[in-house]
Amino acid sequence: MTDRVKLDAAALRVLAHPMRLNLLEHLRRHGPATARQLAAQFELDSGAASYHLRRLAVGGLIHEDTGRGNRRDRWWRATHEQSVHDPTSLPDEQAASREYTQAVVTSYAERLRQVAGQVPVLSEEWFNASVFSDHALRLTAAGLEELKHELHEVIARHAAETQSTEDAATVIVGLQAYPLWTD
């Protein structure tokens, strides 16, 4: 599995569906799974899960894990750990870029709803280490671009220092920065 892949226009179109994003993310975090397992996890019809998995495979985002299962129970594996999309890299694909971004935001919102249910049972240590905050800043588009790059550099530095101790856990760092337009 490669570390990261830069999304092309075809991959953007495939991922412009929140369920496909969720399925891909699940395969990245938890490893190979069958359509039946994913259908149960996401409360989907197994036919719908299979359809979404086939679309992800056509987009080159997952592939069949032929070392597992059989013709009846096909196992699927993510081909990369992280997807990267820079809207400026595909200037002729703004519609696909916006559809993908909308699906990402919808997926994040659903993930936060799930996290909200876990907050009451977080250990004191993890609760105190977690952060849920937002900051209203007055920036230009160029200032926001600079902030984005600086924050990504900090995240990359911490990712390079992966901790494999017994008390380490996978931590999701969500970064959203967008203009707040008011009427």
Three-state SS string over 140-181 comes to CHHHHHHHHHHHHHHHHHHHHCCCCCCCCCCCCCCCCCCCCC
Q: How would you classify the pairing of strands 75-78 and 33-34?
A: antiparallel
Considering the chain, what is the average pLDDT of its residues? 89
Judge whether residue 4 has pLDDT over 90: no
Judge whether residue 55 has pLDDT over 90: yes
Strand-pairing partners, residue 4, are: 82
CA–CA distance from 125 to each of 121, 130, 134, 151 (Å)?
11, 9, 22, 24
Look at residue 64 and give its three-state secondary structure. Answer: strand
Judge whether residue 183 has pLDDT over 60: no
3 or 39, greater pLDDT = 39
- Once rounded to an integer, what is the mean pLDDT over residues 86-102? 88
- Where does the pLDDT of residue 73 fall: very low under 50, low under 70, confident under 90, or very high at 90 and above? confident
2-128: in CATH 3.30.870.10: no
- Where does the pLDDT of residue 84 fall: very low under 50, low under 70, confident under 90, or very high at 90 and above? confident
pLDDT of the residue at 24: 96
Q: How would you classify the pairing of strands 2-6 and 80-84?
A: parallel
Per-residue DSSP letter, 17: S
Q: How many residues does the chain have?
A: 183
Helices and strands of the chain, counted as H and E runs: 7, 5
pLDDT of the residue at 57: 95
pLDDT of the residue at 2: 63
Which residue matches tokens 């991922």?
15
Judge whether residue 1 has pLDDT over 70: no
Domain boundaries, the chain: 2-128
pLDDT of the residue at 58: 93
| pTM as predicted | 0.79
Look at residue 9 and give its three-state secondary structure. Answer: helix
